[in-house]
Structure 1
């Protein structure tokens, strides 16, 4: 997968994407949530995340307390030990990885903690959520990192 090609396309179309998503905020079709689900499923039938894993290599997820508790339990680690080993508090006061890429990402682009991965990882790139127009800024940002997010916006544009 040519990540740089997708990034360049996303950069070129940022203005167009921003305008399109803004129109959804103003006058979303009644069945937008249904269309979003269909487009999301279409995109992920085409895109294999394990060929890319750019999110796991470059974007650190925010860890909720529930995430930390769940993952530490799998490793049979006390919470402070897990946090000291893997996490830091960022400038916004959020708990994130000390460094990237994700320490749980294997050389095969598979996640070694997939079944218990953080909520932020499970939900990324957020292209299947209801009222997608509420996260326009995030969607635009994600198109720069995630080829699936870019394709999602492109296909959604054609559908709406």
Structure 2
């Protein structure tokens, strides 16, 4: 793939990125719906798993980019369904730490395992040199998009 010599316009590249993002989101939505969980709740579980410790609710709100009230509602439903439990913080009476239950941990691990399997299937036929080039292009594109959208009023695509 790295020996392809063709010209592709910037608009065509963006269209391909857009198409890929739509496919990824659609597949994720379908998988989460089959599991009976929302994207927001799945984000909480994977964020908790990645934290590696029991963070405070305020940390989760910051990591997820949502209000503390919103994270409280998400945790209420996750706690009700047995995925998390909240425990008062040891030194701050007003704060709660959030812990994955065994059910929540198993759920988060299965989501991550399935994502890893998808990645292996998706990129199996791509050699290491092309993977490295693709990763570099994605990093550059992500960084550039972040720069553009932070400096343009109403985002770059509006």
TM-score (norm 1): 0.23
Report 1 or 2 for greater relative contact order, CA contacts < 8 Å, sequence distance ≥ 6. Answer: 1
More helix by share: 2
